[in-house]
């Protein structure tokens, strides 16, 4: 059987990688929305704003498996690592010992489970709860997702600059009135996806959520990437003596691409960071980065069938974490689309 023509809507990291995986598998993939006239007025999307933290460990086993496979692909391919702007800084993932996500059996080359006091001694974190425990991964760090997206776009044979105006059944109508048809349509439009589906009359459980971080001077180097589940604080090095720092936002159903910064959240980040990181300069170096991602339940970038259609899917739901899973998730999604397209067995979204 001839490989299908697949229309992929949205040129963020998810759509670009999915189109590339499909193309590599011999399908005709057309990536829609690669031009300058994006709804975000440029690349003002989650991929452009992303902090890019990547590691293998995640408390959730499904996310861990995708993150582990993605990191392995990155580490095995120096050209991919270069295209992604890979920086190996190490990664610390701190949890309370009572947390159900506390790891068992994650020890591998370059991976250690450390007690809270060891973390405090080795990395200078302050006032960690007594019962904290951390997964330390030496071969983890961060990428620049926007850079990886641009490299992937350069390798695509079929792109369509004009964005989609609307989804009409299994047909895509572009903003210039042209209509494109494919055997399959995948909406990979990140935080725009729920709105695009609803406008086309489809119900969806996908939602949007705000994400915000800012840069601070910390007065010392050599801090790794970290997630501290005991306080919510996450961060990564961002140049000499600088850290990117954030906390999860509580704002749901926010319009992309760039919501007003949340000053209350910025204050909470600072208060938490001053407890954990002695020597932090409380003045942010620039206004916060404020952006939106698409969230799913269960969380994670995955192919999901659109209820009520035979050939339409979404590939989104990164839930603030798809930079670290997109390599493996796009490979899985392409395989599912091509192998099982008469009966794709994927969850509804
Ligand atoms: C501030 C922030 C920090 C993050 N930090 C991390 C991190 O440290 N580690 C990590 O793993 N993950 C992180 N993430 C999450 C990760 O970056 C995202 O999950 C991922 O980039 C989502 O990519 P996407 O392609 O699904 O969506 P997007 O990057 O949002 O791309 C969607 C694209 O669809 C386009 N589009 C919309 N409507 C249309 C239309 N009608 N026609 C055509 N195109 C359309 C948009 O213009 C956009 O280019 C972060 C996210 C944010 C927002």
Least confident of 99-103, 113-117, 214-218, 310-314: 99-103
Pocket of ligand 1 (CB under 6 A): 9-15, 32-33, 38-40, 45-47, 49-53, 145, 163-164, 188-192, 196, 211, 289, 291, 293, 316, 318, 320-324
pLDDT of residue 310: 84
State the distance from the centre of ligand 1 to the C-alpha of 45, rounded, in angstroms.
Answer: 5
State the distance from the centre of ligand 1 to the C-alpha of 209, rounded, in angstroms.
Answer: 12
Could you tell me the CA-to-CA distances from 27 to 36, 71, 225, 339 in Å, in that order?
26, 26, 37, 11
- Which whole number is the average pLDDT over 15-36? 95
Per-residue pLDDT at 344 exceeds 60: no
State the distance from the centre of ligand 1 to the C-alpha of 222, rounded, in angstroms.
Answer: 28
Residue nearest to atom 26 of ligand 1 (CA): 190
Six token digits for residue 314: 């979404």
CB 290 within 8 A of CB 262: yes
* 3-state secondary structure (DSSP) of residue 135: strand
Neighbours of 48 (CB within 10 A): 19
Per-residue model confidence as pLDDT tens digits over 131-179: 999 999 999 999 999 999 999 999 999 999 999 999 987 789 999 999 9
CB 89 within 8 A of CB 236: yes
User: Of residues 115 and 348, which shows the higher confidence score?
Assistant: 115
Residue nearest to atom 27 of ligand 1 (CA): 190
Six token digits for residue 224: 């790794």
Per-residue pLDDT at 7 exceeds 50: yes
Rounded Cα distance, 62 and 135, in Å = 17
DSSP run (H or E) holding 303 = strand 302-305
State the distance from the centre of ligand 1 to the C-alpha of 78, rounded, in angstroms.
Answer: 24
- Which whole number is the average pLDDT over 327-342? 89
- Phi then psi dihedrals of residue 306, to 5 deg: -85, 120
Percentage of the chain with pLDDT > 90? 83
pLDDT of residue 66: 97
pLDDT of residue 36: 57
State the distance from the centre of ligand 1 to the C-alpha of 344, rounded, in angstroms.
Answer: 24
Domains of the chain from N-terminus onward: 1-87+142-206+296-349 (3.50.50.60), 91-138+209-291 (3.30.9.10)
β-strands 28-32, 159-160 pairing: parallel
Per-residue pLDDT at 22 exceeds 80: yes
Six token digits for residue 200: 């086309």
- 219 — pLDDT class (breaks 50, 70, 90): confident
Residue nearest to atom 45 of ligand 1 (CA): 10
State the distance from the centre of ligand 1 to the C-alpha of 1, rounded, in angstroms.
Answer: 34
Atom of ligand 1 nearest to the CA of 325: 11
Rounded Cα distance, 91 and 224, in Å = 6
pLDDT of residue 349: 46
pLDDT of residue 1: 61
pLDDT of residue 35: 83
State the distance from the centre of ligand 1 to the C-alpha of 126, rounded, in angstroms.
Answer: 33
Tokens 């998730």 appear where?
A: 329
State the distance from the centre of ligand 1 to the C-alpha of 2, rounded, in angstroms.
Answer: 32
Per-residue pLDDT at 341 exceeds 80: no
Which spans in the chain are helix H?
Answer: 13-24, 46-49, 61-76, 78-83, 116-123, 145-154, 193-199, 263-276, 326-339
Atom of ligand 1 nearest to the CA of 320: 15
Provide CB contacts within 8 A for 41, sequence distance 6+: 257
Per-residue model confidence as pLDDT tens digits over 269-280: 999 999 999 889
Residue nearest to atom 12 of ligand 1 (CA): 321
Atom of ligand 1 nearest to the CA of 324: 11
Atom of ligand 1 nearest to the CA of 213: 1
The residue among 335, 27, 23, 169 whose CA lies nearest residue 344 is 335
Atom of ligand 1 nearest to the CA of 48: 29
- Share the mean pLDDT of the chain: 92
Residue nearest to atom 17 of ligand 1 (CA): 50
pLDDT of residue 27: 96
Per-residue pLDDT at 41 exceeds 50: no
Rounded Cα distance, 45 and 256, in Å = 8
Test site for ligand 1: of 320, 325, 349, most ligand atoms within 8 A of the Cβ:
320
Test site for ligand 1: of 11, 44, 47, 150, most ligand atoms within 8 A of the Cβ:
47
């Amino acid at each position: 059987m001839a490989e299908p023509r697949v229309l992929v809507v949205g040129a963020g990291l998810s759509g670009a990688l999915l189109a590339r995986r499909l193309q590599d598998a011999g399908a005709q993939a057309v990536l829609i929305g690669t031009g300058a006239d994006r709804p975000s007025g440029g690349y003002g999307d989650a991929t452009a704003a992303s902090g890019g933290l990547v590691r293998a460990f995640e408390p959730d086993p499904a996310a861990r498996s995708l993150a582990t496979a993605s990191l392995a692909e990155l580490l095995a391919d120096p050209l991919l690592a270069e295209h992604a702007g890979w920086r190996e800084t190490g990664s610390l993932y701190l949890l309370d010992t009572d947390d159900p996500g506390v790891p068992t059996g994650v020890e591998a080359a370059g991976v250690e489970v450390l007690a809270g006091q060891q973390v405090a001694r080795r990395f200078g974190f302050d006032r960690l709860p007594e019962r904290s425990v951390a997964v330390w991964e030496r071969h983890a760090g961060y990428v620049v997702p926007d850079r990886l997206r641009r490299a992937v776009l350069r390798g695509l044979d079929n792109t369509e600059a004009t964005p989609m105006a609307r989804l009409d059944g299994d047909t895509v109508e572009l903003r210039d009135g042209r209509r494109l048809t494919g055997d399959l349509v995948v909406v990979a439009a990140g935080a725009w996806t729920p709105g695009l589906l609803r406008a086309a009359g489809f119900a969806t459980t996908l939602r949007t959520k705000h994400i915000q971080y800012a840069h601070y001077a910390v007065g010392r180097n050599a801090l790794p990437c970290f997630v501290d589940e005991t306080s919510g604080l996450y961060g990564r090095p961002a140049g000499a003596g600088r850290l990117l720092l954030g906390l999860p936002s509580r704002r749901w159903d926010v319009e992309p691409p760039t919501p007003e910064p949340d000053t209350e959240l910025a204050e909470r980040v600072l208060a938490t960071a001053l407890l954990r990181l002695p020597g932090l300069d409380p003045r942010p170096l620039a206004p916060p980065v404020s952006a939106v991602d698409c969230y799913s339940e269960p969380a994670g970038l995955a192919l999901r069938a659109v209820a009520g259609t035979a050939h339409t899917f979404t590939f989104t739901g990164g839930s603030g974490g798809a930079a670290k899973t997109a390599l493996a998730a796009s490979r899985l999604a392409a395989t599912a689309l091509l192998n099982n397209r008469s009966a794709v067995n994927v969850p509804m979204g």
